[in-house]
């Protein structure tokens, strides 16, 4: 055998780098984004990241509608039925029915047990082969909402990796939605691997009732390219559009504000001392223990760049009141944080009270440092209008409804673009009769947040408005413990409890409530 030496790079003549081919760009259908970025890469794979709510779904509608208007067929894979998709799209200003009837828009649905079957599948390629077959070869735009049914199987799951590879190599431009907790503007660290598995991320950051900040973050940005966020307004009948009014809120528009000045409102909790130590070490910080003292500070000193409210779950309502009192008094950015897993409705109340960001469920000081510095640099946002959710707790007798009224309220919320995200508990206890169990459950829920309780034969049903299944573990543990204590048989209450998440398990919920037309698929 003879060996030859490969010449070193220095010994070889220089060669010209290959010419870079500019990607073909197509409009996303979201006007302000297209004006800033000139469009998205054709045949690219985009992850649409944001908090639960209608904005991501509306962005998918706009993306598909733009293509349909240009004569490009589209496909939407959703967990809603055809009537639901067409009705919600119409409410946001997108008339899909004629396109669906003539075949230019395909609507596909997940079965109720899709996530369980797909995640357990040894060969997830079969799932994508089925999607390929149903989509056909000539669909240039595909939207998948919710993408969590593919991507929520843990860190770099086989199904998630296979799906993102499929989306990246498919000839269509693919939109995939991905929900994040709180008001996070980035993927959680466990999902970092997705960043380079896509062409880019479209990050929708909720700012107030109608306003969002939308940022295109490319996996591989061009040299010198910066991520430039755009403000968009979510308007019924129009979708995501250029805001009618968006007051200046950046630090440079706030003369006299010191971005290193922080007001910490410490309302207790297990790690209050750690938060205080971090805040005083990282900023020029004033610390108060009561909201009233914070109001006095804000009135006497206008130089605070940020306000940090740290509170345990049991004092969230005081945090909300503090936000409401401080927002008109200061130009500082307000950030709420808690080590406890704070319920989504509480986070919404905090944001609607005027907070600029919210971080809960365990504090990582690196993340908190980044969040509060970003909030201070951006500046405070305008005070949002009332929430307009349509939940009226006074319409029920202390949160208790008859079975027919409960079913009717379920249907109303299920059709609402914001209220459609909730969990239903199916509860029974061998040690408690249904009437006693119903009264007990009413005492455990939050009527003022829209929670409802009803009897369904020998069982009870509970609607937890805004709750998601992954956030309920602490509540369910407390509920089991309190039922045991109430029944007087610790660990032997005969408790049966099942959690159903809407809209993913809408068919099972309708069957539980005895609603006509419910069937398993």
All domains of the chain in start order, with CATH: 25-241 (3.40.50.300), 251-378 (3.40.50.2300), 393-513 (3.30.70.270)
Rounded CA gap, 429 and 437, in Å?
7
**What is the pairing mode between strands 211-218 and 230-235?**
antiparallel
Q: State both tokens at 501.
A: 């998440």
Sign of CA dihedral 214, 219, 223, 224: positive
pLDDT score recorded for residue 67: 95
Q: Nearest 5°: phi and psi at 210?
A: -110, -20
Give per-residue pLDDT as tens, 437-461.
Answer: 999 999 888 887 788 999 988 899 9
pLDDT score recorded for residue 193: 72
Q: State both tokens at 2.
A: 């003879």
Element (H, E) at 275: helix 272-282
pLDDT score recorded for residue 173: 95
Residue-wise DSSP of 423-487:
EEEEEEETTS-HHHHHHHHHHHS-GGGT-EEEEETTEEEEEEET--GGG-HHHHHHHHHHHHHHH
What SS3 string covers 383-407?
CCCCCCCCCCHHHCECCECCHHHHH
Mapped onto helix, strand or coil, the DSSP state of residue 364 is coil
Half-sphere CA count of 185, side-chain side, radius 13 A: 21
Rounded CA gap, 186 and 416, in Å?
27
pLDDT score recorded for residue 509: 93
Rounded CA gap, 414 and 87, in Å?
12
pLDDT score recorded for residue 3: 46
**CA triplet 276, 282, 285: central angle to 5 degrees?**
55
Regions of the chain with pLDDT less than 50: 1-4, 6-10, 155, 246-254, 384-390, 393-394, 518-521
pLDDT score recorded for residue 394: 47
Rounded CA gap, 467 and 12, in Å?
64
Strand partners, 108: 77
Q: State both tokens at 90.
A: 């119409």
Rounded CA gap, 507 and 521, in Å?
8
Rounded CA gap, 357 and 363, in Å?
14
pLDDT score recorded for residue 253: 38
Closest CA to 315 of 261, 272, 285, 371: 272
Give per-residue pLDDT as tens, 6-34.
Answer: 444 445 555 555 555 678 999 999 998 99
b/e map 345-372, b = 16+ CB within 10 Å: bbbbbbbbbbbbbbbbeebeeebbeebb
Q: What is the pTM of this model?
A: 0.49
**CA triplet 288, 293, 297: central angle to 5 degrees?**
90
pLDDT score recorded for residue 104: 94
């Amino acid at each position: 055998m003879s060996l030859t030496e490969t010449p070193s790079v220095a010994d070889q003549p220089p060669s010209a780098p290959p010419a870079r081919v500019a990607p073909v760009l197509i409009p996303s259908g979201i006007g302000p984004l297209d004006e800033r970025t000139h469009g998205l890469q054709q045949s690219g794979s985009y992850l649409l990241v944001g908090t639960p709510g209608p904005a991501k779904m509306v962005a998918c509608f706009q993306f598909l509608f733009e293509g349909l208007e240009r004569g490009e067929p589209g496909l939407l894979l959703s967990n809603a039925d055809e009537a639901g998709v067409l009705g919600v799209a119409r409410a946001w200003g997108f008339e899909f029915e004629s396109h669906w009837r003539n075949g230019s828009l395909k609507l596909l649905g997940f079965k109720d047990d899709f996530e369980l079957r797909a995640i357990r599948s040894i060969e997830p390629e079969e799932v994508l082969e089925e999607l390929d077959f149903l989509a056909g070869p000539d669909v240039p735009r595909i939207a998948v909402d919710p993408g969590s049914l593919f991507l929520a199987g843990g860190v770099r799951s086989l199904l998630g990796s296979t799906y993102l590879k499929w989306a990246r190599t498919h000839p269509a431009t693919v939109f995939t939605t991905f929900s994040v907790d709180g008001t996070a503007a980035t993927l959680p660290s466990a999902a970092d691997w997705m960043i380079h598995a896509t062409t880019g991320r479209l990050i929708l950051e909720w700012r107030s009732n109608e306003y969002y900040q939308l940022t295109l973050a490319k996996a591989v940005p061009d040299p010198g390219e910066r991520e430039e966020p755009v403000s968009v307004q979510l308007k019924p009948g129009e979708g995501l559009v250029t805001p009618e009014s968006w007051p200046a809120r950046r630090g440079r528009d706030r003369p006299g504000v010191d971005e290193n000045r922080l007001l910490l409102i410490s309302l207790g909790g297990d790690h209050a001392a750690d938060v205080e130590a971090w805040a005083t070490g990282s900023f020029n910080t004033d610390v108060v223990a009561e909201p009233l003292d914070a109001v006095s500070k804000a009135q006497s000193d206008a130089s605070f760049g940020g306000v940090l409210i740290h509170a345990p779950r049991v004092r969230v309502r005081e945090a909300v009141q503090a936000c409401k009192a401080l927002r008109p008094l200061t130009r500082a950015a307000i950030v709420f944080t808690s080590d406890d897993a704070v319920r989504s409705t509480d986070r919404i109340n905090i944001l609607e009270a005027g907070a600029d960001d919210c971080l809960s469920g365990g504090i990582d000081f690196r993340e908190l440092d980044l969040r509060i510095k970003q909030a201070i640099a951006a500046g405070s946002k305008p005070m949002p209008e009332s929430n307009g959710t349509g939940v009226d707790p006074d319409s029920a007798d202390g949160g208790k409804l008859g079975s027919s009224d409960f079913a009717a309220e379920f249907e109303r919320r299920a059709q609402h673009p914001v209220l459609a995200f909730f969990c239903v508990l199916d509860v029974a206890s061998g040690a408690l009769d249904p009437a006693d169990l119903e009264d007990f459950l009413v005492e455990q829920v939050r009527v003022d947040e829209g929670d409802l309780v009803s009897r369904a034969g020998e069982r009870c049903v509970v609607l937890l408005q805004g709750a998601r299944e992954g956030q309920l573990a602490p509540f369910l543990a407390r509920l089991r413990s309190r039922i045991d204590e109430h029944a007087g048989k610790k660990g032997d209450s005969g408790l049966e409890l099942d959690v159903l998440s809407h809209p993913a398990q809408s068919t099972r919920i309708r069957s539980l409530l005895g609603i006509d037309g419910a069937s398993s698929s």
